[in-house]
Structure 1
Amino acid sequence: MLKLSPAARAKTSAGEFVNMVTTDVNRIRFFWFRLNEFIYSPLNIGFCFILLFIVLGHSAWYGVATVFLFVPLNAYAAELQSKFEEKQMEFKDARLKLMSDVLSGIKVLKLYAWEPPIQKRIAQLRERETTELRKANYIGIGLMESSFTMCPILATIACFVAYTLIEGHPLTPQVAFSCLMLFQMMRYSANQLPVLVSESIRAFVSMRRISEFLDADELDERHFHRLETNTSDIG
């Protein structure tokens, strides 16, 4: 922070720096902790689809097509959540900056009795921050959870309908229970994906913010002279 140039320091407030240290770093850390699940879940879904092809044959393609129908919806939900997360972090930075200014100028604030307007301004920023957070949770995560929950169920129905009505095969207990077990395994991974996608979006937003801070202009060290203390001259 001290090595930033005046122009870069004007763009980066102390509240934004504190927010990066306390929030953004933790989001990236949590993402790396669950990276193995992010790799395991798609592999598990792909493995289940391969077994479905072995059991159902070409009827499994209908389940795959059903899954791909949900891809645009999930992409739209992820884009919405990323946008809401960025706005929420902007309002949080503004609130922390205002709090830092209030604490640094607390004597002037108390002297002129500015507590009510400052408190109102902080409450407004907090309300806008929580509004964006609710949007990210309800629209982004809620939409993705609904999509990933309904996707295996609709894929199961599509596979069974294609297997019995289109291809004319009898739905024996061996086929039915084997497919239900595979879809149950797939449903567990599908239920984990919304949380993993949400955490990855938050982590990438945080990495973008930290990257912009690290790429900011710094002071030219050639313009400074380091003072060296000669201990022999003391005393």
Structure 2
Amino acid sequence: MQSASARIGGSTVTNGWDTGLVTNLLNVDVKNISETLMSWHILLAGVIQITFAMIMLWHIIGLGAIFGITLLILGLLLSEYFSRALTVVYKAMVKITDERLSVISEMLHSIRIVKFFAWESYYREHVASLRQLELAKNWKRLFFVTTSSAVSSAGPAIIACICLGVRALLFGRGLTPSVAFTTVAILETLRRVVYRMPKVIVRAIQCRVSGRRISEFLALPDLVSPTTDGEDAPATKGSLNAAERIALIDAEFSW
């Protein structure tokens, strides 16, 4: 990342990238990837726990577990919808954040010109308008995250009521303490797993977006740095025919 960022100097825009966007990569995208890698095991363990919990429910309440499995699938589909919507909103929010940081970086690098021409009000209004757009996208992101968490938290309780109600009303099988409390305990385990998994999925989505942004930055072509005296860099072997170039090939020197 450091070698790649050396390709972009000052606030000069290169292929759409500048120091503001690089700062956002280091502060936001790298953090998203590190947090996702630290919690990736929760997703794998959650899948295993859900599988064993559903098998145990089948042995305890029988056909009533089918209704629970159906509701669980519907909940996962609903979470998938929220995840896709969250991806779109997060991409739009990150794009606006990059633009806002670019404007701030441009203002700071040209602070003398800004003060000389009294452009403070223009930059202040421009940054404030971008911030309002960013906050609007962030509110949408929080809405989808909160809704997904609410569905995940209330889902197991609804499943417990439906499973036990189907067992007692439709199949006419009584609810003994062993069946009721065991079912509630298993569904409580499901609730904890299903509560954590959407957060990990959200982080995985943000990690995928951040990974693409970092890959795009690292794939930028290398730039030829100018020499210290302000002139162009020395010519390479492929440009020896230029009249203003002087090059030595296979030369030997002695002192």
Any residues of structure 2 matched to 1:102-113 within 5 Å, and which?
Answer: 102-113=107-118
Unaligned segments of structure 2, at least 5 residues: 226-233, 238-246, 249-253
1:206 matched to 2:204? The reply is no
Q: Any conservation in 2 of the 1:52–1:182 contact (CA below 8 Å)?
A: yes
Count of aligned residue pairs for this structure pair: 226
**What percentage of aligned pairs have identical amino acids?**
24
1:28 matched to 2:33? The reply is yes
Q: Which residue of 2 aligns with 1:116?
A: 121
Q: CA deviation at 1:157?
A: 1.7
Distance in 2 (alpha carbons) for counterparts of 1:211 and 1:151: 38
Instruction: Please report the RMSD computed on the Cα atoms of aligned residues, expressed in angstroms.
Output: 2.5
Q: CA deviation at 1:72?
A: 2.6
The structure where helix makes up a greater share of residues is 1
Q: Which residue of 2 aligns with 1:13?
A: 18
Q: 1:188 to 1:113 in 2, by over 3 A?
A: same
**Deviation readout 1:189-219 (Å, 9 max, x if unpaired):** 1111222122111111111211222233445
Amino acid at match of 2:108: L
Distance in 2 (alpha carbons) for counterparts of 1:124 and 1:81: 22
Q: Which residue of 2 aligns with 1:63?
A: 68
Unaligned segments of structure 1, at least 5 residues: none
Distance in 2 (alpha carbons) for counterparts of 1:124 and 1:49: 50
Q: Which residue of 2 aligns with 1:175?
A: 179
Q: Which residue of 2 aligns with 1:72?
A: 77
Q: Any conservation in 2 of the 1:24–1:207 contact (CA below 8 Å)?
A: yes
Q: 1:174 to 1:116 in 2, by over 3 A?
A: same
Q: Of the two, which has the highest radius of gyration?
A: 2
Q: CA deviation at 1:58?
A: 2.1
TM-score by length of 1: 0.87
When structure 1 is superposed on structure 2, of 122-131 and 212-221 the one drifting more is 212-221
Q: 1:163 aligns with which of 147, 164, 167?
A: 167
Distance in 2 (alpha carbons) for counterparts of 1:99 and 1:23: 17
Q: 1:219 to 1:104 in 2, by over 3 A?
A: closer
1:81 matched to 2:98? The reply is no
Amino acid at match of 2:67: Y
